[in-house]
Amino acid sequence: MLKGKNILLGVSGGIAAYKMANVASMLVKLGADVHVVMTENATKIITKEPFEVLTKNKVYTDVFAPGTPETNYVPHIALGEAADAILIAPATANIIGKLANGIADDMLSTAVLPASCPIIVAPSMNVHMYENKIVQANIEKLRSFGFIIVEPDEGHLACGYDGKGKLPEEAELVDAVLKAVAKPHDMEGKKVLITAGPTEEALDPIRFITNHSSGKMGYALAEVAAMRGAEVTLVSGPTSIKKPYGIKIIDTVSAEDMYNAVMSEAPAQDIIVMSAAVADYTPVTTADEKIKKSDGDMSIPLKRTKDILKTLGEIRKPEQFICGFSMETENVLENSRAKLVKKNVDMICANSLRTPGAGYKVDTNIVTIISRDGMEELPIMTKHEVSDKIFDAIMKEI
């Protein structure tokens, strides 16, 4: 996803600097050409060598260090200018203060100044330093200049305090880079609502009715829309997938919860994609205590849930684009086209459970995109690739 992209990693002297070797490795694995600039203090926490081995590029700490032909012998200018994105993590109060005030007194603070690409800053420090009004004002100043701030996590900090200041997980930092540069931002300004995962319909405090949906398709759709610049809200059923960075997530459990969340978010949206596997039936009653077994069989009375997609089709604004999913075991295309008409939506993405490589829990899918006046049969693809195709088709229609 980062093939052909030049990423400049700026490492300053926070204790979490050691984690950046992993970030460098992850970026390299995604295809990026990674260059690393470190502050002198960062080299006291982790040496240059792991970064040089992982990135196969020279690591700079000194403005006056000799450059290479690749950097035109002026690395403090060439590195920032060549970057497609800069990630500064961990960003100490010191580097944040310098960046906010245009101070260029070492290699990292200098290399950032000539850059015109997205600059991501991940503050990480003691909670009281982080809460300091001057530090907060500097962070706000960076935001106002267009810097992307990845908020620190709360937790147990190296200094012994509990609070906000932890560097987020490495994957979250990589997600921020992906969101900034992996794809052209052709969905900038679009508000996109996506539903994902299964629903759980409780029988009693212990048992529930659910389905095999893992949420992978919906999360891939959300990540891809965010990478293409959209403002994404993800209404998620219970899943074990890592929460993606930079996406508003509303966690839901039952079909009723999901209905309520979607209805409150829907009016503001330009595009809605219902990829969740919503239960069609729910128990008539949910027992407050565990249902005890007795001799003989038992049956559970079920009632219909509200059809979220159908309701969206009824209350839709004319300019909204609504896309549903359809999971069938037979007559996939006919049944899916019938749903498009019956639910008054613009597109149905049909997938068959019977095709190997498609469906629940796997990372690939085989989808046919059915719109009002055409259809596109896609070959087997990863769920991220399918997501791109779906948004390509949607963006062509709106």
Select 35 or 339, whichever has its Cβ closest to ligand CTP.
339
| Pairing label, strands 381-382, 364-365 | antiparallel
Nearest approach, Cβ of residue 54 and ligand CTP (Å): 42
Select 83 or 322, whichever has its Cβ closest to ligand CTP.
322
Nearest approach, Cβ of residue 303 and ligand CTP (Å): 12
Nearest approach, Cβ of residue 324 and ligand CTP (Å): 3
Nearest approach, Cβ of residue 309 and ligand CTP (Å): 3
Catalytic residue among 117, 159, 323, 349: 159
Cβ contacts of 282-288, under 8 Å, gap ≥ 24:
282/201, 282/209, 282/254, 282/255, 282/256, 283/201, 283/202, 283/203, 283/209, 286/202, 286/203, 286/204, 287/203, 287/204, 287/205, 288/204, 288/205
Nearest approach, Cβ of residue 259 and ligand CTP (Å): 7
51 within 8 A of 36, measured Cβ to Cβ: yes
Select 216 or 339, whichever has its Cβ closest to ligand CTP.
339
Q: How far is CA 188 from CA 96, 225, 229, 393, in A?
A: 27, 9, 4, 16
Residue with tokens 């999901």: 258
C-alpha triplet 295, 300, 304: angle, nearest 5°? 180
Distance in angstroms (rounded) separating the CA atoms of residues 58 and 56: 7
Two tokens at 226? 């965010």
Nearest approach, Cβ of residue 227 and ligand CTP (Å): 22
211 within 8 A of 356, measured Cβ to Cβ: no
Distance in angstroms (rounded) separating the CA atoms of residues 100 and 102: 6
Distance in angstroms (rounded) separating the CA atoms of residues 364 and 165: 37
323 within 8 A of 345, measured Cβ to Cβ: yes
Alpha-carbon radius of gyration of the chain:
25
Largest separation between any pair of C-alpha atoms in the chain: 84
3-state secondary structure of 192: strand
Two tokens at 382? 């990863």
Distance in angstroms (rounded) separating the CA atoms of residues 239 and 168: 21
Residues linked to residue 195 through DSSP beta bridges, in sequence order: 235, 274
Residues making contact with ligand CTP (CB under 6 A): 255, 274, 276, 278, 280, 305, 307-309, 324-327, 339
Select 125 or 276, whichever has its Cβ closest to ligand CTP.
276
Select 153 or 307, whichever has its Cβ closest to ligand CTP.
307
Nearest approach, Cβ of residue 298 and ligand CTP (Å): 24
Annotated active-site residue 159? The verdict is: yes
Distance in angstroms (rounded) separating the CA atoms of residues 249 and 132: 29
Residues forming the active site = 159
